[in-house]
Amino acid sequence: MAAADLCPGFNQTNLKMLEEQLLCDVIFEVGGERIGAHKFILASRNSTFRYKFLEAPNEIYFNLADKDPDIVWTFFRYLYTGVVEVNAVNANELFDIAEEYQAEDLIGMCISVLASSLTPESACIFMKYHKYAPCNVAENCIKFIVANSQVLYTDQLVALPQPCLQAVLASEGLALTEEEVFEIAMKWAEAQCKHQNLVVRGGNLKNVLGDAFFEIRFPIMNKDYFVDHVSNKGILTAEEEKKILLYMLQKKAGALNLPFKAYQRGNKPKLVLMRFQNEKLGWYCQGQKKDAICFLPSATITLHGIKIYGKCDQAGQLNASVVLQHNSHILTSVTAQLQTNPTESLYDVLFNQPVVLNDGVEYHIICTLDGGKTYFGNDGRETIHENGVEFKFKRSLLSANSTAVNQGQIPGLIYSL
């Protein structure tokens, strides 16, 4: 190679060797395409490749038939240069290959992108790699799992690392009975015992749970359930069982003297954000056009529902269909039939399950109302600071009934921090 052809740095030189397929000593079969690479670079940058090459030092051809060629090229460019653009289009497939090859930094970058649209399944998987992701992503995943507790009944439960399970079980917002919390903890602990080749018995179950064990609120369980299902597990000492049963019988805090909480879980208080400063009469809601508004919170919040305006001219039923949407993805929806009276202007519509919203992400609330004339808001605020959170409101392109920042329906958000 002539001196004029040399690139200015090692990364650029390495990348040129890859992109021009020069002096490659390993070939990957990728979806009908062959991609050449260099064992030295791949092995020096990734321990999984290093293990593969050391295990089969004379092997030249490797099969990646289940991968997309563009994703493999992107992954190789990342290994050669340390530079990659992760976006909503490639994040899922990049995460899969990064997970398979344990590329920790890339895993963290993918999670940061994917976490803006969590699902119950992905939240548990991401928590498996929580130490590679930014702190706020881990916190958001935990809040999401707490708000969507049904995920704890799926096979993804066992993917949760112990510190994350502990954080979930410690949450005051976990909408489960303590009997359900116990069964979830036991399912997780039994899976961990099997994974670690430990006998599934009381002492080992307690040990793998670690401090998460003390987040189970045994004293507030049903007494019969405790006797029938907890005592026979052998996870509590005889003295612990005696004190818990004594507490159940006497309901005296002094009878406990154990490191278990003895009070019901309580959700954080619901807060209400109102975006209009005045109200007027006469917003037409005939069920044909949608009212919608777009908003961005500056911090992670849990959205429980919205405020809507009721009928202003006469008492009667107002039918409401409410959708919460991010981009084109529907996060939740609910329908309600409200009996409204002109003497009251505001009514709550709550979702069946609260939804965790991430900071800096645009969400759309779309509301279809059928019932005639309603109150409407006026003098709306574009930016509102409340309880340490900044809410920015924007006109939604999904709004067909004229609701916007300055006036219209959807006057308030019902949320918690």
pLDDT band at 409 (very low <50, low <70, confident <90, very high): very high
Residue pLDDT, tens place only, 315-351: 999 999 999 999 888 989 999 999 999 999 999 999 9
From CA 215, how far away is CA 165, in angstroms rounded? 10
- Quote the DSSP letter at residue 287: S
DSSP string for residues in 219-244: GGS-HHHIIIIIGGGT-S-HHHHHHH
Indicate the burial class of 335 (C-beta count within 10 angstroms; 0-12, 13-18, 19 or more).
exposed
Local confidence band at 296 (pLDDT 50, 70, 90 cut-offs)? very high
Enumerate domains of the chain plus CATH numbers.
3-117 (3.30.710.10), 151-255 (1.25.40.420), 271-416 (2.60.120.820)
**Regarding predicted confidence, which is higher, 253 or 157?**
157
- What is the distance between the alpha carbons of residues 346 and 66, in angstroms, rounded to a whole number? 54
Predicted confidence (pLDDT) per residue in 7-26, tens digit? 567 778 888 899 899 999 99
- Mean residue pLDDT across the chain: 88
Strand 61-63 versus strand 26-30 pairing type: parallel
Highest mean pLDDT among 69-83, 127-141, 344-358: 69-83
**b vs e for 344-357, b when ≥16 Cβ sit within 10 Å of the residue's Cβ?**
ebbbebebeebbbb
- Stretch 162-170: mean pLDDT, rounded? 92
Contact indicator for 156, 125 with CB cutoff of 8 Å: yes
Summary count for the chain: helices (H), strands (E): 13, 14
Question: Which phi and psi angles does 116 have, rounded to 5°?
Answer: -75, -15
Is it the case that residue 1 has pLDDT exceeding 50? no
